[in-house]
Amino acid sequence: MKHVEQYTRGYFMPPRQSLKWTQKEYITEAPTWCSVDLRDGNQALIVPMNLEEKLEYFQMLVDIGFKEIEVGFPAASETEFVFLRTLIEQNLIPDDVTIQVLTQSREHIIRKTFESLKGAKRAIVHLYNSTSLAQREQVFRKSKQEIIDIAVTGAKLFLECASETEGNFQFQYSPESFTGTEIEFALEICNEVLEVWKPAADNKVIINLPATVSMSMPHVYASQIEYMSENLKYRDNVVLSLHPHNDRGTGVADAELGVLAGGQRVEGTLFGNGERTGNVDIITLALNMFSHGVDPKLNFENLPDLLKKYERLTKMRVGERHPYAGELVFTAFSGSHQDAIAKGMKWREEQNPPYWSVPYLPIDPHHIGREYEGDIIRINSQSGKGGIGYVLQHKYGLDLPAAMRESVGYRVKDVSDKLQKELQPDEIFTIFKESFVNVNEPIEFVRYQFEKSDDYQTTVIIRVNGEQKEIVGNGNGRLDAISNALQKHLGLSFTNLTYQEHALEIGSSAQAISYIGMTGDDGKTHWGAGIDVDIMTSSVKALFCAVNNMSRRSS
Ligand code: KIV
Ligand code: ZN
């Protein structure tokens, strides 16, 4: 590509890396989650939420189980100020939930922020200033020392304001644009702030290291986190927090590796809403942990409803391929995948194993409130017999013989291919009924009767081209007798009759369905099914249906 020479790696690898985190395999315990939906997320919306919407969103976050929720930048906007005051004055913050508010390191903003917190039982007050080389040079045009002074001055004012304001406050500092900051300078500024706040066991400070813009591969961010974790002062009394954005599409990987490297807390949003490509998606992080058998301590048991509410309140859309939540993420269209899923589900029913291991499905969709039907197997021209059989079985109770699934599969795929569209379960059922059930053209079955002597003798009334005929035959069994009558009088020949039947509940009436396959002169197997309240009649209808399908094919 042209212009590539204009790009270079703008991040700073730590001088020493112990890389201990690379030896860890997975996250064994949920970090402290902090939702920044109502601040970072909200500031990125095309239409920011109004007061009512924010209140509803806040309640949704509480219901999910967030214990720390950043509610805004109260000194920067009147709506955010009013929102915070409403939460406090209407006593809407549960006792086990801590709200968080953000402030720049400017005197009047810090003072107004503390003012807005009056009466809050508990709050995290979050101080930030930008520290990256690019911001220092281009935006602030200040030296490193001047940037440290901004942070330290703000930190001191925090102590003063907190002592004058009724309430219980925890402090948080973010070197904004951390990922573009020389790592030793990031460490220096954080340690200077810690020196002011002097965290203690009963008064821990949060140091939040944002990938304000993600600039590197995830292992670099993790190495930066590890370096900070190993070199921060007062480390035992510091909660190390991560705040990845998703510019490189690696927000989740950044957070996961960052936690392995020492991060104890993660700030992010639902569905990854946030500036540009978004903040890290906490739902994906949590469900990734869940899929490893680790309780994320957040409840996403009804993700579809949560998604609807999120889309209504934010007016954003969650894409079809969005991990765990997207419409298509548990769906298999391809035949071989459908077949493996259908077999995996059957194996699961038979074996009742303790662990989830169905191929192609990282978790059981039911565990997050999704349906199997319509979610897992959907049918188009790429689909196969396994998936089509699965839909007919699970939605309509039709347990087709394995070999018949193939014929039905070809027919359904053919329709989908011609129509160039996905087929819904009821369309598949209709194709099945029209092509394989009680088909009575060109030979219509009217009725039969039997007499039994040494073998079975039958008289069958049929209609061909509107003309009624009586045909007779005999055989070892009733079906055999009818099949012989058909072959003899119509000049047909077929062999290898395959037969299967089962009860069928349609509405309130119990019926039987029979499936018959037969090999014709062409060497191919032709299938038919018959439905009737009487089992014998259902099998005769299936026989006629298979014969009709055979003649239609050969004509
Ligand atoms: O992305 C960011 O750097 C922020 C800070 C204010 C923490 O949102
Ligand atoms: Zn952010």
Ligand 1 pocket test, candidate residues 181, 245, 267, most atoms within 8 A of CB: 245
Minimal CA–CA distance to 239: which of 264, 268, 261?
264
Ligand 1, atom 1: nearest CA belongs to which residue? 212
User: To the nearest whole percent, how much of the chain has pLDDT over 90?
Assistant: 87
DSSP 8-class letter at 235: G
How far, in Å, is the centroid of ligand 2 from the Cα of 138? 20
Q: Is the beta carbon of 279 within 6 A of some atom in ligand 1?
A: no
| Confidence band, pLDDT 50/70/90 cuts, at residue 506 | low
How far, in Å, is the centroid of ligand 1 from the Cα of 279? 9
Q: Is the beta carbon of 174 within 6 A of some atom in ligand 1?
A: yes
What secondary structure does DSSP assign to 307-353, as a single string?
HHHHHHHH-----TTSTTTSTTTT-B-SHHHHHHHHHHHHHHHHH--
Quote the CA–CA distance of 400 and 415 in Å, as a whole number.
19
Minimal CA–CA distance to 499: which of 517, 484, 513, 485?
517
**Averaged over 453-471, what is the pLDDT?**
91
CB contact burial 253-262 (16+ within 10 A = b; e otherwise): bbbbbbbbbb
Would you mind telling me the total number of residues written for the chain in this entry? Answer: 555
How far, in Å, is the centroid of ligand 1 from the Cα of 315? 23
Q: Is the beta carbon of 40 within 6 A of some atom in ligand 1?
A: yes
Report the atom number in ligand 1 closest to the C-alpha of 245: 1
For residue 275, give Cα distances in angstroms to 34, 40, 172, 214, 268.
17, 7, 21, 12, 11
Residue labelled with tokens 């985190």: 21
Instruction: Dump pLDDT digits (tens) for 27-39.
Output: 999 999 999 999 9
Ligand 1 pocket test, candidate residues 70, 104, 176, most atoms within 8 A of CB: 176
How far, in Å, is the centroid of ligand 2 from the Cα of 35? 11
Q: Is the beta carbon of 218 within 6 A of some atom in ligand 1?
A: no
Looking only at the bridges linking them, the beta strands covering 509-520 and 525-532 are antiparallel
| Confidence band, pLDDT 50/70/90 cuts, at residue 374 | confident
Q: Is the beta carbon of 41 within 6 A of some atom in ligand 1?
A: no
How far, in Å, is the centroid of ligand 1 from the Cα of 123? 18
Binding-site annotation: residue ranges: 40, 243, 245, 279
Task: Kindly give the interhelix angle for 51-64 and 303-314, rounded to the nearest 10 degrees.
Answer: 160
Residue labelled with tokens 């990282």: 362
Quote the CA–CA distance of 245 and 265 in Å, as a whole number.
15
Instruction: Dump pLDDT digits (tens) for 197-249.
Output: 999 999 999 999 999 999 999 999 999 999 999 999 999 999 999 999 999 99
Report the atom number in ligand 1 closest to the C-alpha of 213: 1
Report the atom number in ligand 1 closest to the C-alpha of 102: 6
Instruction: Dump pLDDT digits (tens) for 297-347.
Output: 999 999 999 999 999 999 999 999 999 999 999 999 888 898 899 899 999
| Confidence band, pLDDT 50/70/90 cuts, at residue 354 | very high
Preceding amide of 442 cis, omega within 30: yes
Cα torsion 544, 546, 552, 555 to 10°: value is: -100
**Averaged over 482-508, what is the pLDDT?**
87
- pTM, two decimals, is 0.87
Quote the CA–CA distance of 415 and 553 in Å, as a whole number.
16
Binding-site annotation: residue ranges for Mg(2+): 40, 243, 245, 279
